[in-house]
Structure 1
């Protein structure tokens, strides 16, 4: 029996399509993945947009693959156009009416490969990858250079800044959390812009920007903003290293608005966004979107795209070109690969919380994005730490960047947080009892985040608090996106004073009045400890962190001690003892001859020692 798909008629009712047709096309086999898309996403989009049914068959002769298309004539034509748009820049294909054309033979096909759509030869049956990527880079640059010239420098130094001596500039930096600014990959630190100590210093040519800042109510730039704005408005690449809650978002956002409006191609003629901001988590992406929406300049528009929500809604939204896209790496790559997001016009890229993105394993997605965007772009990277992985990323994708860091490059928790370490038994019930004691002592103005190491633990803690009639909410990766957003809204509004979270919330939540952070489970590394602690004590306010430390956490003791000491915090004597015992265990274990992989080591609780 012939398959006849049911389709909606003009009244919205289903009816049999009386003009049902079928046809076939051939596409190059090496482009099948491009037509199908990740997890079938692209082919679903083709079917959704055209109304036709598309089936990529297994009929292939190696070079060409047969695709069957069914529907009415208009639907088939639309589907063919969509497939052609995916393949026309790299290969041609043929359309049949039941007959599959023989593919044209290619001269010595065994000696040809395709990289990013470019036909490339193999060399002596081995791929010369260096030559392949050099050729790809060359053609990539040629394509972008032929499109348009990017304008980056919008800075007009204010007379008061010009009058500032270098000694005065350095004194200002020293008095404002010890701002350090330098060329990170060069010994030449010349032409470093002097800081802007007032909003007018940076934006005096842009009164609309000054008016928006005035509406928000800020009195003066934060340290990272005062030094970032002259650098970014001058069009330079920049790495901003500062703890959370220091104003990094506004530091890169306001220059981005000016950059968007200042390009040579009018905004209504661009076929894609101008600014791309990549963030590690949905929560941080949404927070950036909220910050962007506070400032209105020249009708600039933005869109936040991230996983965990309806993909088709985001696809539909992208049909209207926006100026700023805020995205998580996975969904960003997904929509770009499927052809829904045109990144050819992006000229300003922000990698926000770069260290967090690398910790989460997003390096491949980031590198793919950065490789695909205009190489002449302006690039901004923010991070709370400066590990080797972030340094390598900056080396690969930034041009002679200026590094600005506030405080110290050494890992350190903010000094506006009182850090307390409580030694507890290695038992979840003992931890729960300690938490209950704290909750019973909370004041009406307290607002806390309780961090757990696993989703199951977060659910358990949330359930136990609820059973005690203690209002709380939770956030972790298994919760629906709508529930996660509601949880954030509830804690920010104060409707619920306790948020139970996994590390999905350790960065990206900007809750100015958060009074306490409780580490129910000590984090997996000391960097994550710093970021958790940084959720409180923000915007000049004081905060407190309480960490439950058990004997199984002893391997963190050595790294925790300098963090506490640097901030002038009390270090329990047992933490020093645990650090010494753990180091002694490592020395002893490493000195044992012929130690097998299956041998028992000191990964437990310090040889059963008591507190």
Structure 2
């Protein structure tokens, strides 16, 4: 059985903000200077308000539920920052700072031996989205997952959904609340019936390991064949917006007990005009629910929906982030014809020092490079410190404090040490070593030009960086930056021909 460590969350965590007193609202409307509301509008208004009042009263008696059911495996717990960064870099996993560590092997999850054997028979290692999303979801966080179809996201949310339902007290999982009326604890909304059926198939494959019953609802087929679910009960419902709303409005589907909500392919649903339906469905669930929103793209419409339906979500992006940098960051690319020479850095740092504000963050790809570069810069009279994964926490904090307060002008860092770094006033970012993934480049140079301020990003590329040159050119063009002939040549030339 799945081991559980509960974190109890009470149902009034996200309550209504108004005083649900129907008579009070009626009195306020009746004294309007333009006269009373028309009777039919008044009745509709009071009916809706009374319904909301009943929902609020019902929420007062909803039982607490378990959100955080994650037990971190000892292997995961002992994983170093460098190893975590390597997993994320290889999987092109972009996350904010201070999130649960990703897992590398299935054995790091305590789903039980029987389920693990089933999973091992199908694949040996989790996909990048599963690697990072499982610890996040099982820890009870709301999540925004940006990942393409075929990335393993369905299993990424299905196993935590089933585990969440299994974790609840037995009395809460009794779903039949009246004649042909069911109140499940979980719901998954998908845009089209084909996807809903695929999701349901995954649920069918694994629900036996969690003692959970599921139900599938979608349009295009008769309601009678799906109505059987309401006679036997279910814990998790999977369906398309239109058919779900049919059963909600008919009084068959009661979502007031839903504590786990998944919105899959949100961008597709919005392009189909389902925004009102999604909002309606989500509003019928508990206010303290755990919500997962999945999308392949991240346009403003999806961001707006995510803001409305999630609470303090963790955003996981699997290599699909918009590769466009801010236009207030000027990017200068320096292409060398051989190995990096310190004379190149000499010229660059002297140029930076001529500016009135020369607070500069310098990136290298390894710890050794960071320390060696710091030593060279110090010997040349620059005020500099370095931070990386082998530095003690006290040493890192001391260096960061010196950088913040302006006691030093340059801070040399690796990607691992700089994660979550938020320092105001950084004018320049210098990539002494170009990162192996273009998304990391975007994150690096994003340390400057915070808000509406302007910043500079200098990057040195050698022939060894030829493989990322094309991606860099795309970023520069999308950001309306100049592409030099040397960079174009590097993108078209085999690495060996440069030596």
What TM-score range do you get, normalising by the shorter chain? 0.5 to 0.7
Q: Tell me the SS of whatever aligns to 2:238.
A: strand
Counterpart for residue 547 of structure 1: none
* 1:285 paired residue among 192, 196, 201: 196
Counterpart for residue 71 of structure 2: 156
Counterpart for residue 261 of structure 2: 349
Alignment of 1:143-182 (within 5 A): 143-176=58-91, 178-182=92-96
Matched, 1:368 2:280: yes
Alignment of 1:3-402 (within 5 A): 120-121=25-26, 122-123=28-29, 124=32, 125=36, 140-176=55-91, 178-182=92-96, 189-190=97-98, 192-201=99-108, 203-204=109-110, 206-215=112-121, 217-266=122-171, 269-271=174-176, 272-295=183-206, 296-402=208-314
CA distance in 2, matches of 1:226, 1:318: 35
Q: Tell me the SS of whatever aligns to 1:259.
A: helix
Which segments of 5 or more consecutive residues in structure 1 lack a partner in the other structure?
Answer: 1-114, 183-188, 413-564, 570-611
Q: Tell me the SS of whatever aligns to 2:136.
A: helix
CA distance in 2, matches of 1:160, 1:133: 53
- 1:211 Cα deviation after fit: 3.0
> Are the structure 2 counterparts of residues 118 and 294 from structure 1 closer, same or farther at C-alpha, using a change threshold of 3 Å?
farther
Structure 2 contact 20–49 (Cα < 8 Å) conserved: no
> Are the structure 2 counterparts of residues 409 and 132 from structure 1 closer, same or farther at C-alpha, using a change threshold of 3 Å?
farther
CA distance in 2, matches of 1:166, 1:239: 23
CA distance in 2, matches of 1:138, 1:212: 47
CA distance in 2, matches of 1:333, 1:386: 26
CA distance in 1, matches of 2:142, 2:45: 26
- 1:258 Cα deviation after fit: 0.8
Q: Tell me the SS of whatever aligns to 1:266.
A: helix
- 1:199 Cα deviation after fit: 1.1
CA distance in 2, matches of 1:389, 1:319: 38
> Are the structure 2 counterparts of residues 320 and 118 from structure 1 closer, same or farther at C-alpha, using a change threshold of 3 Å?
farther
* Bigger RCO (CA 8 Å, 6+ sep): 2
Q: Tell me the SS of whatever aligns to 2:149.
A: coil
CA distance in 2, matches of 1:383, 1:341: 26
- 1:318 Cα deviation after fit: 1.9
Note the alpha carbon deviations across 1:377-426, whole angstroms, 9 max, x for none. Answer: 110110000111111111111110000010031289xxxxxxxxxxxxxx
Note the alpha carbon deviations across 1:342-370, whole angstroms, 9 max, x for none. Answer: 22221111000000001000111111111
- 1:227 Cα deviation after fit: 0.2
- 1:171 Cα deviation after fit: 1.9
Structure 2 contact 262–293 (Cα < 8 Å) conserved: yes
- 1:232 Cα deviation after fit: 0.4
CA distance in 1, matches of 2:266, 2:64: 28
CA distance in 2, matches of 1:364, 1:375: 18
Note the alpha carbon deviations across 1:19-46, whole angstroms, 9 max, x for none. Answer: xxxxxxxxxxxxxxxxxxxxxxxxxxxx
> Are the structure 2 counterparts of residues 130 and 317 from structure 1 closer, same or farther at C-alpha, using a change threshold of 3 Å?
closer
Structure 1 contact 237–380 (Cα < 8 Å) conserved: yes
> Are the structure 2 counterparts of residues 117 and 195 from structure 1 closer, same or farther at C-alpha, using a change threshold of 3 Å?
same
CA distance in 2, matches of 1:303, 1:242: 26
CA distance in 2, matches of 1:308, 1:211: 37
- 1:157 Cα deviation after fit: 0.6
CA distance in 2, matches of 1:245, 1:360: 21
State TM-score, norm by structure 1.
0.44
User: Aligned pairs, how many?
Assistant: 293
Q: Tell me the SS of whatever aligns to 2:237.
A: strand
CA distance in 2, matches of 1:351, 1:389: 14
Counterpart for residue 509 of structure 1: none
Which segments of 5 or more consecutive residues in structure 2 lack a partner in the other structure?
Answer: 1-18, 177-182, 325-469, 475-499
CA distance in 2, matches of 1:209, 1:266: 25
CA distance in 2, matches of 1:290, 1:411: 35
Note the alpha carbon deviations across 1:507-542, whole angstroms, 9 max, x for none. Answer: xxxxxxxxxxxxxxxxxxxxxxxxxxxxxxxxxxxx
Note the alpha carbon deviations across 1:155-202, whole angstroms, 9 max, x for none. Answer: 0011111111223211210011x10012xxxxxx43x1010111121x
> Are the structure 2 counterparts of residues 246 and 267 from structure 1 closer, same or farther at C-alpha, using a change threshold of 3 Å?
same
- 1:266 Cα deviation after fit: 3.2
CA distance in 1, matches of 2:50, 2:82: 48
Q: Tell me the SS of whatever aligns to 1:273.
A: coil
> Are the structure 2 counterparts of residues 222 and 181 from structure 1 closer, same or farther at C-alpha, using a change threshold of 3 Å?
same
> Are the structure 2 counterparts of residues 405 and 208 from structure 1 closer, same or farther at C-alpha, using a change threshold of 3 Å?
same
- 1:341 Cα deviation after fit: 1.4
Structure 1 contact 278–329 (Cα < 8 Å) conserved: yes
